[in-house]
Structure 1
Amino acid sequence: MRRTDPRLQIMTEAIERLIPGAVPAEMIVYVIEKLADGGQHEWSGRPKSLAEKLFTALYGRPRAAEQSSPLAQAEDAKRRRDLGAELDILMDAGAALASAPWYPARAGDLVHVHYEAGGLSDASGETYRISAGADGFLSMQLLCHTLPDTEDLDGLVGCFAIEDDPDPLTDLWFEAGPHRLTIVRDGRPVHIGGAR
C-alpha cells in the first residue's frame, strides 16, 4: 500500500466532488475543445488521471510518499478523524496478508524485518524463525538481530516473538509493515517487501 502526496490526493478529491454524491470509481472526466470548423478535440479519463496531469504541471511528477506500516497509516487516518479510511486501511492490510500466495506461515519459515536508520540506531534488522507451538499453533522466536546493544532498545529487541499463535505474522505485518519484511520458505524468498 502506497501513500501519495497529500496535494495530489486533495486534487483528486476536489475533482471527484464536482458531482455531489457521485461514486468516484464510476466517474469519468471529459474535456472537449470546440474547433472553429465545427470539429472538436477530446480527452477523457478518471479523476485521478486529471489530478495527476494537474499535479505534474504544478509540482513535477508525483512520487509515492515514504511507505509506512498499515498501523501507522490507520493512525494517520484516525488523527484526521476519517473512520472510513482507518477501517479501509486495516481491512486492506488484513486482506493483503490473507491473500498472499505463500500465506499462511509454516513451521520452518524465516522472517526478517528491516528497520531504517532512525534516531536510536543505524539501519538494522531482526530475523525470526517460525516453529510449531506447544498447543498446536505456531510460535516465532528471535534468531538474531543487528540492533545495537543499548539500554534505549531494551524491550524492543525481539518484540515480535510470540508463542502459540494461530497467525504469528499479523503483528509484524501491521506494525512493521509488509514493505519491511522478507519471508523465506525452504531456502527461497516468498515475500520481498522492499522489492518494487
Structure 2
Amino acid sequence: MPCDDRLHFRCYRRRTFLTLALAPLLAVGAQAEEDESDKPPAPDDRFTFLTGPKKGQVVRAEDLALGGPQMQVFPMAPDGTVRNNRLSLVILARFDPATLSEETRAHAADGVVAYTAVCTHQGCPVNMWSTDRKAFVCSCHGSVFDPRNGAEVLDGPAPRPLPALGLKLKDGVVTVARTFTSRVGGTQG
C-alpha cells in the first residue's frame, strides 16, 4: 500500500519494523553461503577448473594428463558452492595406479591423487612441477613432494608430507570420498 503524507509516519514504522525483522534472516542466509565457501573439502564435493577454457566446469579423470603435471582446483559442494578459500586449494594429478605406493592407492581413484596445494613449511602454494622427478614443487622455498608416495618430502624445508584427500570417481567425475588426512597449512599458521 503506497504511503501518503498523513500515513507517512505509520509507513515509516512498518518499513523500519520489516527491515529490522528481516535483517537477521538475510544476514544468516548470506553468512551461511559465505561459511559454505569457507569450509574445507567435504565428501561428495567435486572439483572445478580455476582457469582456462574449462573454467568453472567439473574435473573428470580424463582431463588430467597421465604422469603429471598437477592441476590446481577448488572443491565444489553438491549445491554448486565453490569452496574458494586458500586452505581449500587442491592439486590433482593422475598416474598409472601400479606406480603408486600402497598408502597412496588407498586414497586415490583409478590413479588420480589429490593433495592440499598449501605447503607444510610456511603455507606457500605448491604450484610448480618437476618434470625430471615427476613431483610437486613449492614455489617459495623449493620443497619437493612425491605424489606417488603420499606426497612425502623429497627435498626442502617442509617438515611433513602434504595432506591427502580420499577420492572416488562418480561417472568419471573426480569426487571427494574422505577429508584431508591431516591438518592443512604450514608450520607458521
TM-score normalised over the length of structure 1: 0.23
TM-score normalised over the length of structure 2: 0.23
Q: Which has the higher helix share?
A: 1
Larger RCO: 1 or 2 (CA < 8 Å, sep 6+): 2
